[in-house]
Amino acid sequence: DSGVTQTPKHLITATGQRVTLRCSPRSGDLSVYWYQQSLDQGLQFLIQYYNGEERAKGNILERFSAQQFPDLHSELNLSSLELGDSALYFCASSLMEGGPSETQYFGPGTRLLVL
């Protein structure tokens, strides 16, 4: 158990809908990262938050957004869903004071299926 929790574990929805994925980082970690894992694209970085502020953006679609709340949990919002958005979405967290060798701890993921 990494200490990172993600809900829900599974999500099935229809095209055009909007969903929210939730992540709680390890106790004490200030930084949250979102990654998407799909068969064709592999593991791709989406976005990073640090202590409530957006820190870096990766290959995140405009239909997707995220935020980190004062209690440091984070939500990833996916809207106008398309079939191609079906994937496993991971959240990871780190303290972000240990430098570039610091470990990112991953949650169990949310599996999204868009029908």
Partner 1 sequence: AQSVTQLGSHVSVSEGALVLLRCNYSSSVPPYLFWYVQYPNQGLQLLLKYTSAATLVKGINGFEAEFKKSETSFHLTKPSAHMSDAAEYFCAVRDQGGSEKLVFGKGTKLTVNP
Binds partner 1 (CB under 8 A): choice among 4, 72, 81, 114? 4
Say if CB 91 and CB 32 are below 8 A apart: yes
Residue 18 burial (C-beta neighbours within 10 Å; 0-12, 13-18, 19+)? exposed
Q: Dihedral sign, CA of 1, 111, 36, 43?
A: positive
- Binding residue (CB under 8 A) for partner 1 from 15, 17, 103, 115: 103
Other beta carbons less than 10 A from residue 4's beta carbon = 22
101 belongs to the binding site for partner 1 (CB under 8 A): yes
51 scored as a contact of partner 1 (CB under 8 A): no
Taking the C-alpha atoms of residue 66 and residue 95, their distance in angstroms, rounded to an integer, is: 19
Q: Which of residues 16 and 28 has its CB atom nearest to partner 1 in the complex?
A: 28
Q: Is 95 in the site for partner 1 (CB under 8 A)?
A: no
Closest by CA to 44, choosing from 19, 69, 64, is 64
Count of residues interacting with partner 1 (CB under 8 A)? 27
Residue 2 binds to partner 1 (criterion: CB under 8 A)? yes
Q: Which of 24, 76, 109, 114 binds partner 1 (CB under 8 A)?
A: 109
Q: In the complex, which residues of this chain contact partner 1 (CB under 8 A)?
A: 2, 4, 31, 33, 35, 42-45, 48, 55-56, 58, 90, 92, 94, 96, 100-109
